[in-house]
């Protein structure tokens, strides 16, 4: 990434914070950055409107945390490459779920990583159930994903594991969490009226919405996206959604994905966060309320410094709701 792009990425991170920000100042900075890019002979690819709609989502006092009688299970899909951050992700998520009724923690990993994950979590103060991927998605189904999607099969498998994690839960809700994401603050996961949180993001991948449009779940260019690296999902709503499409059975769901996804693109579908988020937003308006996402992405190489420094953690917690330590960033 060039120095110009790094500076603009920093501007975006600053204006992604949870505090009130000046739209005017941000728009001036974006226009200046675009002008500077043209002078340098480059192009700044940034959707100002989508960013503003997500970052400046209106807050409402009536959406204060409530519904504490709701039971919530934490489900994390992980692999060996994220084991350095997994204990932090689980621990911070449990703090963020207080004071809701936490019914358990499930960590879903490849069969080959089960023993290592159990060893990693053995001294963890909250007992976590370590589940092999094969307990939720059979080898037959995985082979079909590999045949159709090639090297992208594991990425789609991760999404299906999250869906199965929700469908197999006995709790009122499941907090699905990417294992490289740390939740810094408690959220109003449910309002006092029983509505669940939904956090808009700005990411746009056309192939996601072409696929979801076939299911009549999303517009081709929806106002918001919901790829937030963690999401509260209610099993009853996800079951209702998939049942209405006759896709509740995992084999039917996988067959539909394989038959209808655009295999010519790198990221053909998002059947976890966007499937649930777009359905909820479009079809169940009385079930959700919108809250700022306020997430910051930081390179994995800074993980140790950040999570071991009380000052840095306090600073991040003050300005952001979560941080994602992507290995590719």
What is the rounded (10 degree) CA torsion for 96, 233, 53, 261? Answer: 130
Share of the chain above pLDDT 90, in %: 80
pLDDT in tens, 258-268: 999 999 999 99
Q: 98 vs 231, which has greater pLDDT?
A: 231
Task: Give pLDDT, residue 63.
Answer: 78
Asked if 276 and 233 count as a contact pair (C-beta separation under 8 A), the reply is yes
32 vs 1: CA distance, rounded Å: 19
Q: How confident is the model at residue 3 (pLDDT cuts 50, 70, 90)?
A: low
Task: Give pLDDT, residue 328.
Answer: 55
128 vs 115: CA distance, rounded Å: 13
Asked if 124 and 87 count as a contact pair (C-beta separation under 8 A), the reply is yes
Mean pLDDT of 222-236: 97
Task: Give pLDDT, residue 329.
Answer: 46
Q: How confident is the model at residue 1 (pLDDT cuts 50, 70, 90)?
A: low
322 vs 271: CA distance, rounded Å: 22
pLDDT in tens, 198-222: 999 999 999 999 999 999 999 999 9
Two tokens, residue 81? 């490459």
Report for 124-133, 184-193, 298-307, 320-329: range of highest mean pLDDT: 184-193
Q: Quick one: which H or E segment has residue 131?
A: strand 129-132
Task: Give pLDDT, residue 274.
Answer: 98
pLDDT in tens, 264-302: 999 999 999 999 999 999 999 889 999 999 999 998 888
Q: How many CA atoms lie within 13 A of 163 on its CB side?
A: 26
Q: 232 vs 59, which has greater pLDDT?
A: 232
Q: Quick one: which H or E segment has residue 4?
A: helix 3-14
Mean pLDDT of 161-178: 98
pTM: 0.94
Judged against a pLDDT cut of 90, whether residue 305 lies above it is answered with no
């Amino acid at each position: 990434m060039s120095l110009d792009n790094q500076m603009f990425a920093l501007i975006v991170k600053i204006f992604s914070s949870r505090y009130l920000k000046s739209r005017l100042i941000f728009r001036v900075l974006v226009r200046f950055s675009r002008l500077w890019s043209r002078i340098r002979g480059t192009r700044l690819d940034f959707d100002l409107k989508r960013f503003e709609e997500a970052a400046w989502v209106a807050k409402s006092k009536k959406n204060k945390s409530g519904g504490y009688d709701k039971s919530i299970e934490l489900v994390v899909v992980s692999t060996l490459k994220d084991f350095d951050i997994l204990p932090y992700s689980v621990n911070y998520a449990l703090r963020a779920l207080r004071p809701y009724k936490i019914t358990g923690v499930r960590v879903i990993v490849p069969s080959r990583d089960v023993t290592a994950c159990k060893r990693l979590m053995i001294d963890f103060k909250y007992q976590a159930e370590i589940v092999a991927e094969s307990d939720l998605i059979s080898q037959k189904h995985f082979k079909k994903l590999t045949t159709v999607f090639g090297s992208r099969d594991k990425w789609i498998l991760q999404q299906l594991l999250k869906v199965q994690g929700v469908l197999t839960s006995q709790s009122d809700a499941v907090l699905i969490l990417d294992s490289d994401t740390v939740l810094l603050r408690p959220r109003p996961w449910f309002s006092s009226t029983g509505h669940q949180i939904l956090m808009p993001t700005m990411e746009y991948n056309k192939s996601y919405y072409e696929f979801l449009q076939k299911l009549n779940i999303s517009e081709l260019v929806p106002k918001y996206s919901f790829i937030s690296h963690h999401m509260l999902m209610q099993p009853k709503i996800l079951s209702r959604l998939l049942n209405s499409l006759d896709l509740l059975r995992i084999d039917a769901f996988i067959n539909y994905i394989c038959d209808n996804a655009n295999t010519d693109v790198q990221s053909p579908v998002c059947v976890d966060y966007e499937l649930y988020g777009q359905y909820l937003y479009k079809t169940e308006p009385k079930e959700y309320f919108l809250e700022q996402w306020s997430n910051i992405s930081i390179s994995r190489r800074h993980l140790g410094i950040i999570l071991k420094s009380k000052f840095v953690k306090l600073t991040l917690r003050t300005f952001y709701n979560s941080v994602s330590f992507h290995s590719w960033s």
